[in-house]
Structure 1
Amino acid sequence: MSLQTWKVTEPWLEIKCALGEGPYYSKEHNHLRFVDIFDKKLHIVDLAKGPASLRTIDTGMAVGVTADIKGEHDFILTGAKDGITKFNLETGEHQYITKLWAESEGPEKVRRMRSNDGAVDSAGRFWLGTMNDPKEAEITNEAVLFRLDTDGTLHRVLEEVSVPNGISWNEKDDTMYWTDTPTNNVFAFDFDAKSGNISNSRVFYHHPDNESHGNPDGHSRDVEGNIWHACYGGSRVVKVSPEGKLVGEILLPTRNPTCPVFVGTELFITSAQEDEPERYPESAKCAGCVFRVDVGVEGMPKHEARIP
Structure 2
Amino acid sequence: MTVQVSVAVSRRAECGEGPIWNPRTNAVHWVDIVGKQMLVTDVATGATDVVDYAEMVGAAAPRADGGMVAAVASGFVGFDADGRVDRRVDILPEGIRMNDAKTDPAGRYWAGSCELGFAPGRGGLWRLDEDWQPRLVLTDLTLPNGLGWSPDGSVFYLVETQGRRILRFGFDPQSSTIISAASVLVDSADLPEGLPDGLAVDARGHLWLASYGGSAVHEFSPEGMLVRTVPVPTRQTTSCNFVGPGLDELWVTSAAAQLDPAVDPDAGSVFRVEGLGVVGLATPAFRG
| TM-score, scaled to structure 2 | 0.91
2:129 and 2:29 map into 1 onto residues whose CA distance is: 24
Give 2:175's aligned amino acid: S
2:131 to 151, 156, 173: 151
2:118 and 2:79 map into 1 onto residues whose CA distance is: 29
Instruction: Give the equivalent residue in structure 2 for 1:271.
Output: 254
2:120 and 2:181 map into 1 onto residues whose CA distance is: 24
1:206 and 1:288 map into 2 onto residues whose CA distance is: 28
2:82 and 2:133 map into 1 onto residues whose CA distance is: 28
Contact 2:15–2:257 (Cα < 8 Å) also in 1: no
Contact 1:253–1:286 (Cα < 8 Å) also in 2: yes
2:69 to 74, 77, 98: 77
Contact 1:7–1:250 (Cα < 8 Å) also in 2: no
Hey, which of these two has a bigger chunk of helix by percent? 1
Contact 1:168–1:176 (Cα < 8 Å) also in 2: yes
1:185 and 1:114 map into 2 onto residues whose CA distance is: 21
1:105-155: per-residue Cα shift (whole Å, max 9, x none)?
A: xxxxx321111011111222211101123xxx4534211101122333321
Deviation at 1:6, TM superposition (A): 4.6
Instruction: Give the equivalent residue in structure 2 for 1:240.
Output: 220
Change (3 A) 1:155 1:276: same
2:145 to 162, 165, 169: 165
- Aligned-residue identity in percent: 32
1:152 and 1:88 map into 2 onto residues whose CA distance is: 14
Change (3 A) 1:34 1:297: same
Task: Tell me whether 1:98 sits opposite 2:89 in the alignment.
Answer: yes
Q: Rg larger in 1 or in 2? A: 1
2:41 to 27, 45, 50: 45
1:246 and 1:209 map into 2 onto residues whose CA distance is: 8
Task: Tell me whether 1:119 sits opposite 2:102 in the alignment.
Answer: yes
Instruction: Give the equivalent residue in structure 2 for 1:201.
Output: 182
Contact 1:221–1:299 (Cα < 8 Å) also in 2: yes
Task: Tell me whether 1:188 sits opposite 2:168 in the alignment.
Answer: yes
1:146-188: per-residue Cα shift (whole Å, max 9, x none)?
A: 1122333321111111100111111222111111111111111
- Higher relative contact order by CA 8 Å / sep ≥ 6: 1 or 2? 2
2:54 to 47, 60, 65: 60
Kindly report the root-mean-square deviation, in angstroms, between the aligned alpha carbons of the 2 structures.
2.1
Give 5+ residue unaligned stretches, structure 1: 102-109
2:118 and 2:71 map into 1 onto residues whose CA distance is: 21
1:157 and 1:138 map into 2 onto residues whose CA distance is: 19
Deviation at 1:219, TM superposition (A): 0.4
Task: Tell me whether 1:300 sits opposite 2:281 in the alignment.
Answer: yes
Give 1:248's aligned amino acid: R
Deviation at 1:90, TM superposition (A): 4.1
Change (3 A) 1:286 1:139: farther
Change (3 A) 1:126 1:154: same
Deviation at 1:32, TM superposition (A): 1.4
Give 1:223's aligned amino acid: A
Contact 1:266–1:296 (Cα < 8 Å) also in 2: no
Number of aligned residue pairs: 283
1:18-59: per-residue Cα shift (whole Å, max 9, x none)?
A: 011111111100011211111111222211212xx2222212
1:84 and 1:219 map into 2 onto residues whose CA distance is: 21
| TM-score, scaled to structure 1 | 0.85
SS for the counterpart of 1:56 is strand
Instruction: Give the equivalent residue in structure 2 for 1:32.
Output: 28
SS for the counterpart of 2:181 is strand
Give 1:98's aligned amino acid: V
